[in-house]
Structure formats: C-alpha cells, structure tokens
Structure 1
Amino acid sequence: MKKMLLFLAVCSLFSSCDLAGKHELKTLKSAVVKNAVLSSGKLIRIDSFPSKYITPRPVDVWLPENYSSEKKYAVLYMHDGQMLFDSTATWNKQEWMIDEVATSLMTQKITKDFIVVGVHNIAEIRWQDLFPEKVVNFLSEEDKSTLKNISGKPNAIEKLFGDEYLKFIVSELKPYIDATYAVYDDKENTFIAGSSMGGLMSMYAISEYPDIFQGAACLSTHWVGALPRENNPYPNAIFKYMEANIPASKNHKIYFDHGDKTLDQYYPKYGSKVDAIFTKNGYSVANYRNLFFPGANHSEKSWQSRIHIPLTFLLKK
C-alpha cells in the first residue's frame, strides 16, 4: 500500500510539474509590435525568449489577417527574424516582406493558411548558432584545428551552438507555439526556412529532426560554410553530412536556390553535387528543387523577390 501511495505521489508530482510548465509557456510575456510597418496581419514579439540551450533572444510571431482560434494553421519557422517583416527596423533597410507574400498566397488560396515564427539572430554569434554542428565530424583533424567562423576569426569547435539552437526550436519554442496559437502540431504542417547560413541550418534542421519538419526552404545556401577560400574543406564535409543524414524522400520536401552575384557567386559550382545527392536518395521534381536565378545577389531584396516560389512549393494546398 505504501509503495502504491508513493507511486501515486510521484505521478502527481510529475503531472503537476508538467501542467506548471505548460502554464508557464502560455504566460510568457509577449506584446503586439504596434510600430511595425506591416501590409496586413499582426506581429507579436516575445522580447527575450527564455532558453536553457542558447542565448535568449526576441522571437516574432506573425498572424495573418482575420486569424481565428476557431481554425488551425500550419507553422513556418524562419531564421533571422528581425529581417522578415519591416524594413524600417532592419540594419540595411531591406526585408523579406513575408507578410505581403504570405497574405497574397493565402488570399489566392495557393497555399495552406499558415503563421510565421521568426527567431531573431544575435549578430555576434550568428555563425555559431547557424553552423550545422555535426558537419564538424566530417572534417579532418587538421581542418578542425583551423576552424574559422564567417568573419574569418578563429573559432573553437566547442563554441558551436547549432545543435543547441535546434533543441531550442524543437523543445522550447515549438511547444510554446503549439500551446499558444491555433496551429497544427504535426510534421505535415511544420516547415522551416532561411537564407545563407540560415539555408544551411534549415537543411540541418530537417535532417536532424525529420519527424518534426516536413519541408525546408534553403535560399542562397552557404555551401562554403564560412568565408570563401581556396582548398575549402567545408563544402565536402557538408555534403558528406548530407549523404549520411538526408531525410526520407517519401515524406519530405526540400528547396534550394542561388544566384550568381556578390556572395552568391560562390554557390553555382556546387549545384550538380547537391542534385546528385538528392537524386540518389529518391528525390524528384515532386519533392525537390534546386533553382538558379542568374543575376540574383545575396540580399533580402533578392530573397524577397522569389520567396513565393519555395512557399508555394512547400505549403501548396
């Protein structure tokens, strides 16, 4: 009898903790960004999303016009959240115009209805957060000793946070979004997208968590890994990681693209290698794209001009 009472007490404790955790998630302090310049919808911000994995940072949630708790929405997670919605608040006065593009696609009933969750970057550690951490396992010991970040500064392997960044999204942010908003929580309605290092991280996310993400959009994917250089070990290591971890083709969609100007000039030569990896693993035009946009450069303006293509590909009704 005592053992039974002890068992029930423990169960009650864990149940209470679980309920408390859910309550805490729902009561995170958030507010509508009243000064955001949007074409439609509403932007809600958690100024400092708590995390035991990564440095806390703002997270934006964009809800479409006429968002209703009476229906359910798919969820698109995006990196570099501060660059998505309002050019008046960005460092280069450019933006993805996600609110405009998403509104147009949903109004025309081209895509499922969806919300967008934008995780802000922290400039000083963006590279450490977005580098696919397990790619390091495919580098030689000599290459590991010379690991450098996107600015060319030495960066010790133990200071990479890519795995922790994904744990934050999957085990801290997603549960909050699922508990707070009227969204589907299944893989078929969960997507991730980003550009440059965010493109690499989106590829990494769907590879590491194929049961969480159904599709990934990787624009101007930074195949060079860090600063472009001769005898660069990063691309081969990235491709070896992909070959070993590519998600099953039968129930995933993956989109890549690139231009050929500014930083994008370093990407075209890798296109055939990427195609070969995915084709070998059963991907076809039904669930895979790798598009080339001649003349496109490495900027939010370029990504804005074509983001409707991957969103249509991934979220088409």
Structure 2
Amino acid sequence: MRLLAIVVALLAFTAAPLAAEDAGRLIEYERVPAAGLPDQRLTIWLPLGYDAVSGRYPVLYMHDGHNLFDVAKSNFNKIWAADTAMLAAAASGEVEPHIIIGIWAPGQNRYRQYLPRSAYDAAAGSLRTQMDAAANGTVVSDRYLDWIAGPLKTWVDAAFRTRPGRDDTAIVGSSMGGLMSCYAFLERPEVFGRAGCVSSHWPAVDPRVVEGESERVKALWDGWFAARLGQPDGRRVWMDHGTATLDAYYAPYQQVVDARFAAAGWQRGRDWESRVYEGAEHEENAWAARLPEIFGWLLAKDRNVAR
C-alpha cells in the first residue's frame, strides 16, 4: 500500500515542459518525495517522435540530472548533452532511442546518496574515517537504489510508454555517479541490464589522502565485485577514465576491477568494456565528447557482437 501511495503521488505531479523541439521533449518534476531521502528532482527526455507514435521505448536512468541537458541549470556551465548523444547514437541505426530519466543530485547530500552502501560497510581504518567525514551523515545510497528500482521505476513504467524489462533498462553516471551505477548494476541485476560507470571515483575520497592505502582500496573493490558480479547472463557494463586532473588517479584501481571481470569469465568487448581517454579531464565536456561512443556500445541492439 505504501508503494502504491507513492506511485499515485508521483502520477499526480504536474510536469513542467522545458522544450518541445526537433531534438525531443524535456519535462521537469521539481519536487519528488522519496522515502528516507532528500526530495528528488527529475528532468526527463522523451525521444524525437515519442508523441507521434505509439511504440514503447527502453529507458536510461542517469545521475546528476542537472548536468545532462541545460547549461543554464548545470553546476559548472557545461553539460553532458545527453539528448544530443542519444540522437547521434540512434542515427547510427545500432541503438534504439531511449527515454532518459535524469535524476538531479541533492546538493550537499550527493556524496552520501551516491557512495555504495555495501562498499562503505566493507571499508575500514582511515578509509572508513574519510568516508564518514565526506558523507557528513548517514550513507543513504541503499535507500536511493531502493527508490530508483522501486517507486521511481514503477512510476516511470506507468507514466510513459516503456519497455520495463531488465534488458531495456540501463543506468549511467560519472565520478561518484559512476560508483552508484556499478552499485545499482551489482545489487539489482534483475532490474538493470546495462550500466555505464564513467570516470568512476574508485578512491571514494580524496585520492591524495588514501595514496598510502591504495592496496587496501584495491582490495575493497576487488572483493566487492567478486562477491556480486556473477555471470554476464546477457548484461553489459561500460567503464572508462581519462588521464588528467582527478582521472589521473584512477588507472591502478580500474585495472584491478578489469582483472576481476576477466577472472569472472566476462568477455571483454561483448559483456564489458574499459577504455582510457588520453588527456581527458574529469569534467562534463570530456564526458560529453565520448557519450555517443558510450551509448553506441552500451545500448547497442545486438549484445552478442564485440565492437
């Protein structure tokens, strides 16, 4: 009954249309209640032609929704241009247009909402202390994931013409959002068939602080994936990082994660991919530049062909 009440409340919201152009249609929901979390905010992109046809669409959930579409609403005056990237990927004929659910980050609560709870619970020593300091409150990513996979997805599938199955449901984010996307993929394999973990912030805290404990951090992620990865079963994961600014710290950790995927029997190029972008920085313009490529691989219709 509680879930039903939340869904009914969501359905009752009045959507504010942001755009109705040849590039698709944006709708914003400014205040969305979510149990045990700060109020959430959504910007939803409906693909070009959504209003003119009766077909159903796969769905992509993305974190940091304020940085996806509109420069005026972004944190740093730059965006992923996720709608443009989706149009480019769809134009190739290899990707079906996806409805994009952009979930805004809740300001100062972003870290504690995106830090994977199960990884936090496994952390110890100074790493755990640094996580606690950065979170400045209870880590609530488990509640956030429950909300996305439960009430939010239920509402999305009721309010829009979606294909709700696992293989038509993807989740993508960067930095801490990259960790959150991997978390969703590992903890809800029945919900999310594809995940994009872009410039994932594997150090989890200031990388300079944990440099002396890098082996402990590597062991944390290796054990975390080993306990949850399982077999591909048709699922697909994209991971990447640049080599400049904050991304310059990620290679040693990403290599451990890559090795775990290989050891678990996942086939690179088919089930998972991990790429390095020389010179790319940890920022939205860099992610926007490679997002059409990410979508082209991650969301491709034919999941059995390595590209």
Question: Do the two structures share a fold, i.e. TM-score over 0.5?
Answer: yes
Distance 1:124 1:19 in 2: 30
Aligned to 1:231: 212
Aligned to 1:27: 12
**Aligned ranges for residues 236-251 of structure 1 at < 5 Å?**
236-251=219-234
Structure 1 residue 306, shift from structure 2 partner:
0.4
Distance 1:147 1:125 in 2: 16
Confirm whether residue 77 of structure 1 aligns to residue 61 of structure 2: yes
Letter in 2 for 1:276: A
Distance 1:22 1:119 in 2: 17
The answer to whether the Cα contact below 8 Å between 1:53 and 1:168 also exists between their aligned partners in 2 is: no
Structure showing greater radius of gyration is: 1
Distance 1:82 1:194 in 2: 12
TM-score normalised by L of structure 1: 0.87
Confirm whether residue 196 of structure 1 aligns to residue 175 of structure 2: yes
Q: Which runs of 5+ in 2 are unaligned?
A: 302-307
Q: How well do the aligned residues superpose, as a CA RMSD in angstroms? A: 2.1
Match of 2:144 among 150, 160, 165: 165
Aligned to 1:11: none
Q: Which runs of 5+ in 1 are unaligned?
A: 1-13
Confirm whether residue 106 of structure 1 aligns to residue 69 of structure 2: no
Letter in 2 for 1:27: A
Kindly report structure 1 stretches of 4+ aligned residues shifted beyond 3 Å. 17-25, 142-145, 153-156, 232-235
Aligned to 2:296: 312
Match of 1:122 among 106, 111, 132: 106
The answer to whether the Cα contact below 8 Å between 2:22 and 2:48 also exists between their aligned partners in 1 is: no
The answer to whether the Cα contact below 8 Å between 1:210 and 1:247 also exists between their aligned partners in 2 is: no
Distance 1:136 1:107 in 2: 40
Structure 1 residue 315, shift from structure 2 partner:
1.4
**Aligned ranges for residues 81-92 of structure 1 at < 5 Å?**
81-92=65-76
Worse overlay, 170-179 or 158-167: 158-167
Structure 1 residue 278, shift from structure 2 partner:
0.2
Structure 1 residue 291, shift from structure 2 partner:
0.3
Structure 1 residue 144, shift from structure 2 partner:
6.5
Distance 1:19 1:163 in 2: 20
Change (3 A) 1:244 1:100: same
Structure 1 residue 299, shift from structure 2 partner:
0.5
Letter in 2 for 1:262: T
SS in 1 for 2:59: strand
Distance 1:244 1:252 in 2: 17
Change (3 A) 1:18 1:234: closer
SS in 1 for 2:224: helix
Distance 1:231 1:118 in 2: 36
SS in 2 for 1:54: coil
Identity of aligned residues (%): 29
Match of 2:37 among 51, 54, 70: 54
Structure 1 residue 155, shift from structure 2 partner:
4.2
Change (3 A) 1:145 1:132: closer
Change (3 A) 1:221 1:20: closer
Match of 1:269 among 245, 252, 270: 252
Q: Deviations over 1:104-145 (max 9, x none)?
A: 2223322012110000002201110000111123223x3476
Match of 2:160 among 168, 181, 193: 181
Distance 1:220 1:195 in 2: 5
Aligned to 1:297: 281
Distance 2:218 2:293 in 1: 25
Change (3 A) 1:43 1:300: same
**Aligned ranges for residues 274-293 of structure 1 at < 5 Å?**
274-284=257-267, 285-293=269-277
Letter in 1 for 2:221: I
Aligned to 2:117: 133
Structure 1 residue 39, shift from structure 2 partner:
6.8
SS in 2 for 1:147: helix
Worse overlay, 246-255 or 291-300: 246-255
SS in 2 for 1:111: coil
Q: Aligned residue pairs: how many?
A: 295
Structure 1 residue 247, shift from structure 2 partner:
4.2
